[in-house]
Amino acid sequence: SESSSNCYRVVLIGEHGVGKSSLANIFAGVHDSIDSDCEVLGEDTYERTLMVDGESATIILLDMWDNKREGEWIREHCMQVGDAYLIVYSITDRASFEKASELRIQLRRARQKEDIPIILVGNKSDLVRCREVSVAEGRACAVVFDCKFIETSAAVQHNVKELFEGIVRQVRLRRDSK
């Protein structure tokens, strides 16, 4: 609908420990004393309005993928409700990179006829000496996935702002081409 056209539900998915909650916390502005724009809607849901390319966009960020307490249904729920997805792996953990491919396939299956914006996120880029997945591999994987790619570091806050701006741009590209 028109009223919700600038509000996007973005879902974080990926293996446990790759840094999803750390990225969500930066989004929420936990480390950011000046900007208190974020509303915490629940323990794992955050809302924030960003200015991207001169146009405001509200992101509702869901970080509930690892919520075991709620059971398996929550993952099915996550697969259904996103307007966009951040598939996160750790560059220090090849298994998490392989898991990202699995998740991409699951997502495609769950949302067959939709062209959903996705960014493949290689997090922990600060841990250069523990790297198990090269930038080239990440990029090549994103080409196969037909999605965008970025490496981030939640620890040193590198490319995190760019990540959230990027997902807004991806959603808009699809909206504008309709």
User: Residue 93: helix, strand or coil by DSSP?
Assistant: coil
Interface with ligand GDP, residue 20, by CB under 6 A: yes
Tokens (6 digits) for 49: 């309005």
Q: Which of 48, 97, 150, 153 binds ligand GDP (CB under 6 A)?
A: 153
Of the two residues 18 and 60, which places its CB atom closer to ligand GDP in the complex?
18
- Residue numbers 1-20 binding Mg ion by CB under 5 A: 20
Of the two residues 52 and 127, which places its CB atom closer to Mg ion in the complex?
127
Interface with Mg ion, residue 67, by CB under 5 A: no
* Distance of closest approach, residue 177 Cβ to ligand GDP, in angstroms: 32
Tokens (6 digits) for 131: 């790297």
In the complex, residue closest to Mg ion by CB: 21
Rounded-to-integer distance, Cα 134 and Cα 141, Å = 11
Q: What is the DSSP string of 102-160?
A: HHHHHHHHHTTT----EEEEEE-TT-GGG--S-HHHHHHHHHHHTSEEEE-BTTTTBSH
Residues in the interface with ligand GDP (CB under 6 A) total: 15
Interface with ligand GDP, residue 127, by CB under 6 A: yes
Rounded-to-integer distance, Cα 103 and Cα 75, Å = 11
Residues that bind ligand GDP (CB under 6 A): 16-22, 66, 123-124, 126-127, 153-155
